[in-house]
Structure 1
Amino acid sequence: MSIFSLKNKTAIITGGGSGIGKAISEVFAQNGAFVCIIDFNEENAKQTLDTIVAKGGKGIWKKCDVSNQKQVQSVIKEIASSHSIDILINNAGVAHVGNIENTTEEDLDRIYNVNVKGVYNCMHAIIPHIKSRGGVIINMASIASSVGISDRFAYSMSKGAVLTMTYSVAKDYVAENIRCNSISPARVHTPFVDGFIAKNYPGKEEEMFEKLSKTQPIGRMGSPEEIANLALYLCSDEASFITGTDFPIDGGFIKLNG
């Protein structure tokens, strides 16, 4: 149990069934939140909720494609009918490797629909439910939001949009007691990273894992739990004076590289 409590808070976590989202779901539940996992992958969502319940936590899961506004509105309305929503974690996202020349229109649309429109859809649906009582929104951005990363054109575009949406919502709703911040991780060791390495570097998994780890000045990748603990603080009452701010958690990548 952390010193930061989310007791009696209801938190919606998109992409909450795997990777960073899974860690946030579990950490929030451990610290008193009623967790609502929204995920397109039913198996991941159910397994994460089962883990939470087995450890004494409480929550629900809902299947939802965040790029589909009607689905998002329906799920949020259903949750709000029985729970007072306090927290939204916009974590659902997809990645893409490629520069502008080898990024197709289909690639760009897919990244935009999930990473940008998905964040918009969730904030658009939730803000009317929390305006009267306040709340916290955390958008998962990336170091790619603010620095150039080779071969990540579409992904960087989308995360730059997440960053500026965060600033805009924070400014527009500060008087409504809605705090909106973003978290910008560098490379984090998730199943996605392992899958990417296995697919693109068969037989060289250990070598490439070590190489990618060392791109962080601190010498390793971050853990999902480290991102989750930052999110926990930012959603707690102890962070009540923080809004409109991006939080890089990057092992020194932005400031110490170059």
Structure 2
Amino acid sequence: MPTFIALPAFQDNYIWLLTDDTSFKVTAVDPGDARPVISWLGRHPEYQLSTILLTHHHRDHTGGVLSLKAATQCRVLGPDNPTIDGIDRTLADGDQINLAGQSIRVIAVPGHTLDHIAFFCDDPQDPWLLSGDTLFAGGCGRVFEGTPEQMHDSLQRLAALPDDTTIYCTHEYTQANLRFAQAVEPENPDIRIRLEVVEDLRRDGQITLPTTLALEKRTNPFLRCAEPAVVEAASRQAGAEVSPGAETFAAIRAWKDIF
């Protein structure tokens, strides 16, 4: 089981490092900026960057790839998108890779971008997911390239993973996401309590990640599009009755975009 380390980047990104304390090899996930990774490696000379994993092509996730590859000769794995420079192996839905002795499955999750993939480790003792910009703590990514239907289907794929899956996403958006979740479900006590905890963490400058799938299912409106309260709120916002599922998702995603 790797150790997960969050490196802050830009205003609200996290670059996740996965360290293998047996081989002293490191995997960097979505390094939009090379500097935080190089700085960490400089402070931990016993570790070697061996792999970069990419979830999608946005520059704040790929901008540091070529510098890191030049400095470390690491291998780069990511989606099949020719606009991403430096990829050594392209990955598609269902592919398997090995990290720190664990088998990782690639899951295609189009919506935020058409090339977006996620990485899932189905270790029965400690499953985990690198969700990129598809599933956030308390929210989900904007639909830039795909359709709301695609994004909803992608989130449903992730929601079908084990409830005890630990989720490592790539932005510190939790507080804003939960404020929106509370607007959607003002009577949901799980959202209220979680928002209070998150506000305390952010007041102290602390990270709010990782999260778990079980917690997301109780507090993330984008995973609750079949819940009557969410459907009702979406219908009010849309000004017309919407059906549970993809229609509700589309209505609350459009609402969140202007929230």
TM over 0.5, shorter chain: no
TM range (shorter): 0.3 to 0.5
RCO comparison, higher one (Cα < 8 Å, 6+)? 1
Normalising by structure 1, report the TM-score: 0.35
Larger helix share, 1 or 2: 1
Larger strand share, 1 or 2: 2
